[in-house]
Chains A and B, each alone.
Chain A
Amino acid sequence: MTGTDYAAGTDSTADTHSTARAVPVLPSRLNRALLAVVRIGVGLLWLQNVGWKTPPNFGRGDPPDGLYLSASYAVSDPVLPPFAWLMERFVLPNFTFFGWMVLLVEAALGAFLVIGLATRFWALIGIAQTVVIALSVLNAPHEWYWSYLLMLLVHVALFATAAGRYGGLDGLLRPEWELSRSWAARWLVRVS
């Protein structure tokens, strides 16, 4: 996907689109391309893995599997006692609702990180979702805790570098959003 690959930021509204290319954040084309690869790769991680979240039961049954089994590790192999209590009392008994929330959040993470739209916002959501997953399965059998730490760190990197500006729609559309006075455009400037 094409993008401006630059941090847009000019005072003049007349030539914002043309001068937005004047301030490169990452000077190397290779570095910008690599950052786009990282963002798309992380998006594909979410996109593929939302595929095994299967409604309407999300694996709740006898024996449990899928998302319900993963979530139940928070209780059987607790990482943080207050989180285990929350899962046991509220999440597992109302699992259909929380299963749908997980499906929608992870599908949106995949969708928006791949195209690079509102990337910094979705990087923050990715951090939050990674923390929830880590608190659920970190002590489960055969888990490698660095997997979740790496997931967390890569989302921090996407946020810190505003990765959607490189080969993503954020980079392409920011000049237009900066010219607009609508609340949606102002929000998109902040989260892109």
Chain B
Amino acid sequence: MAGAGLMNWYRRLDRAAIVLGLVSIMSAAFVFVHGTFQLVQIGTVGLVVALVLGLLAIAAGWLAERTLLIAAGVGFLLAATVQLVLLAGGGSGFLGGNASTFSLWLGLGAGLIAIGLVPRPEAIEETSQA
């Protein structure tokens, strides 16, 4: 029963990663939204980042692949850092985002890494055998 509960919990972790990936893909829609309801500023290159890393997060959750989860998370954190550096230079830069974009990618990166850092069954078995 505890094992089934544990597997169910891992599935919920993977679903959370898929949701974070979907959020990234949905944020790409803001490339078309301007004015009052533009929650986040997405430029053309930022659109590619949101789609590619969003799809990577979805694939990672779908395949229950920890390494991919962490890779997607690190990708978002790198994109957020680059956006911040570009903002420090006084503009949106080639990513075309703003501080809201930095905030969104920071959250997606931190969330995916937090999920990816949870040990999975293989890691648990290796630990118990050691």
Contacts and interface: CB of A to CB of B under 8 A. Distances in A.
Interface in A130-176: 169, 172-173, 175-176
Contacts of B102: 50, 107
A51 B41 contact: yes
Contacts of A2: 12, 15-16, 19
B2 A15 contact: yes
A117 B110 contact: yes
B88 interface: yes
**Most A Cβ at <10 Å: residue of B2, B108, B114:** B114
A55 interface: yes
A51 B40 contact: yes
Interface SS, A side: helix
B118 interface: yes
B100 A51 contact: yes
B5 A1 contact: no
> Which bracket fits the contact residues of B?
35 or more
Contact of B118 (A15, A46, A110, A173): A173
A81 interface: no
Nearest to B36: A48
Interface residues of A, number: 35
Interface string B101-130: 011101110110011001000000000000
B2 A17 contact: yes
Contacts of A14: 2
B126 to A, nearest CB: 17
A56 B41 CA distance: 18
Contact of B107 (A17, A48, A114): A114
Interface of A: 1-4, 14-15, 17-19, 43-44, 46-48, 50-51, 53-56, 103, 106-108, 110-112, 114-115, 117, 169, 172-173, 175-176
